[in-house]
């Protein structure tokens, strides 16, 4: 996909993660003057974990309520703090998990609302969601990787 096509998606608010790589999207967002963040959702198995990944990615320092209203408020606050705007790449959102399928749609709806907020407040917000299938089933007798990603001793 050409840089011009990616920039067009950025102005529309939604970048198709199937058509563009993470690196291309982040580079185009940066070139467009947007603060770009990657939300690593790979280990998130529920809405709360996805929301924590967003808060961690945008380094939201204030108290975060942990619900979709708080997500909207946090994204809008972060967006207004930016000179031009904000781009989020949701990496490996496991929308194929039964526990996350409905929440993934709700998170996308919040992002769509933030796109509109940005338009109304002279800022640009864009996002891409890299959907992943369900998490692999746990292996019997093998402890899962801790959420922090570090192996415990």
SS (H, E, C) the chain: CCHHHHHHHHHHCECCCCCCCHHHHHHHHHHCCEEEEEEECCCCCCHHHHHHHHHHHHCCCCCCCCCHHHHHHHHHHHHHCCCCEEEEEEEEECCCCCCCHHHHHHHHHHHHHHHHHHHHCCCEEEEEEEECCCCCCCCCCCCCCCCCCCCCC
10 has a pLDDT exceeding 80: yes
Residue pLDDT, tens place only, 19-34: 999 999 999 999 999 9
Question: pLDDT over 90 for what percent of the chain?
Answer: 61
For range 51-66, the mean pLDDT: 84
pTM: 0.85
């Amino acid at each position: 996909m050409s840089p011009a096509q990616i920039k067009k998606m950025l102005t529309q608010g939604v970048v198709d993660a199937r058509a563009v790589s993470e690196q291309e999207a982040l580079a185009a967002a940066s070139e467009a003057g947007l603060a770009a963040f990657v939300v690593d959702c790979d280990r998130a198995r529920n809405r709360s974990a996805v929301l924590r990944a967003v808060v961690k990615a945008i380094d939201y320092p204030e108290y975060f309520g942990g619900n979709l209203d708080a997500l909207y408020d946090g994204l809008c606050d972060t967006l207004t703090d930016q000179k031009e705007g904000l781009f989020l790449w949701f990496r490996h959102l496991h929308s194929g998990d039964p526990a996350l399928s409905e929440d993934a749609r709700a998170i996308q709806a919040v992002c769509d609302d933030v796109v509109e907020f940005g338009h109304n407040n002279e800022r640009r917000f864009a996002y891409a969601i890299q959907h992943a299938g369900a998490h692999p089933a746990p292996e019997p007798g093998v402890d899962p990787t801790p959420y922090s990603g570090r192996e415990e001793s």
